[in-house]
Amino acid sequence: MFRLAHLSDIHLGPLPELSFRELASKRVTGYVNWHRNRRRVMFGDTLTNLLQDLKEEAPDHVAVTGDLVNLATKKETAAARLWLEDLGTPHDVSVVPGNHDAYVPGALKRSYREWNAYMVGDNALSAIGSSFPYMRCRGPVAILGASSAEATAPFFATGTFKRHQALALARLLERAKATGHFRVVMIHHPPISGATAWHKRLIGKQFFSKVMREVGAELVLHGHTHLDTLYWLDGPEGKIPVVGVPSASQAPGGEHPASRYNLFEITGEPGNWSLIQRERGARDHESGIGWVRERELLSDGRTIDARPREDAKVAV
């Protein structure tokens, strides 16, 4: 059995002090949003508690689907690298960037430099720059990272998945299928129509859907919405689960679900894989982290609820 953890939308806080030059950009809207909204629900021990619980579960690998920072300043990006080093080694942690990691022009290149070791494939050289899509093979699982991150205008949080990345992703997926791996694709924005507001959507999702329809994968992971969601895309041999996860830093009591991570248990062999999704997260301010939901995801688009753990008391 291979156990893959999935968390997203870290939004490390608090914000550092910003210079006038840094505020004279799209960052000023994010700065206001942080102080009006996110500071109240994305600061404190929430993230620390979730990560402590994740480490106790000891997954074989951790997938992080973007938005490690808020405004992508130099200090934030450097701090996120230290956070990743505490989370695990580059061999054990895979990352794709989100729109906040590319908040303003030039920020994404800085993220590439700081987090490069966590965002390159097994055969990649040490070159710094866009290396997407990439592929890493860990045991029976192939982890493929695609990037939807880009700098956008104020009040927009869209992502882009272009044709050239789709073609490269298809080639990697075909290679992983030939070697009999369970294929997991990571992307920040949900590649699903209607999954988020128009100004936060993924542009080019039709290219992603085409790759899934023609080449396939066994699992797609995303973040961005701060919601626990399950969608399905058509694949050549059945339905492909597309799973989102709440922000890892979201405190209980807010508009969005509280801090959570997915823990996937992957067993079987090509043509006969078993995929169980177990969710662990914050219950309330007093109860700490516990089991939220457990279900098996079937290739025909059905789910089977697993027996709840003894400490699972959260209604979903």
Residue 298 CB burial class (10 angstroms; 0-12, 13-18, ≥19): middle
Locus of tokens 């860990």: 138
How many other CB atoms sit within 10 Å of the CB of residue 67?
A: 28
What number is the average pLDDT over the span 301-307? 87
Neighbour count for residue 49 (Cβ, 10 Å): 14
Task: State mean pLDDT over 223-227.
Answer: 96
Mean pLDDT for 46-75 is: 93
149-178: average pLDDT: 94
Average pLDDT over all residues of the chain: 87
| b/e map 126-135, b = 16+ CB within 10 Å | eeeeebbbbb
Q: 15-27 pLDDT, tens per residue?
A: 445 444 444 445 4
For residues 289 and 5, the answer to whether their CB atoms sit within 8 Å is: no
pLDDT at 87 over 90: yes
Cα gap 194→181, rounded to integer Å: 30
pLDDT of the residue at 30: 45
What is the CA angle 190-67-291, rounded to 5? 75
**Mean pLDDT value across residues 223-237:** 97
Burial category of 123 from C-beta neighbours within 10 Å (exposed 0-12, middle 13-18, buried 19 and up):
exposed
43 band by pLDDT with thresholds 50, 70 and 90? low
What mean pLDDT comes out for the span 216-224? Answer: 98
Task: Report pLDDT for 302.
Answer: 95
Q: Which residue bears the tokens 């959260």?
A: 314
CA distances for 130 relative to 10, 77, 126, angstroms: 21, 16, 12
At 227, the pLDDT band (50, 70, 90 cuts) reads: very high
Query: What pLDDT shows up at residue 38?
Result: 53
Cα-based distances in Å from 120 to 103, 105, 170, 198: 21, 22, 17, 30
Q: What is the pLDDT of residue 18?
A: 45
Give the pLDDT score at 26: 53
Q: Using CA atoms, how far apart are residues 118 and 133, in angstroms rounded to an integer?
A: 13
* Residue that wins the pLDDT comparison between 37 and 306: 306
Mean pLDDT confidence for 158-167: 96
* Residue 92 pLDDT exceeds 70: yes
Cα–Cα separations (whole angstroms), residue 264 to 123, 270, 298: 25, 17, 13
Secondary structure letter of residue 293 according to DSSP: E
- Extents of the domains making up the chain: 2-305
Instruction: Provide, rounded to the nearest whole percent, the portion of the chain with pLDDT above 70.
Output: 83
Q: What pLDDT score does 286 carry?
A: 63
Mean pLDDT of 113-122: 94
Q: Answer whether 176's CB lies under 8 Å from 273's CB.
A: no
Q: Which amino acid would we find at residue 219?
A: L
Distance CA 168, CA 32 (A): 38
Integer Cα distance of 228 and 295 in angstroms = 13
Q: Note the pLDDT of residue 307.
A: 62
CATH of 2-305, one of 3.30.43.10, 3.60.21.10, 3.40.1160.10, 3.40.50.920: 3.60.21.10
Instruction: Quote the CA–CA distance of 54 and 280 in Å, as a whole number.
Output: 8
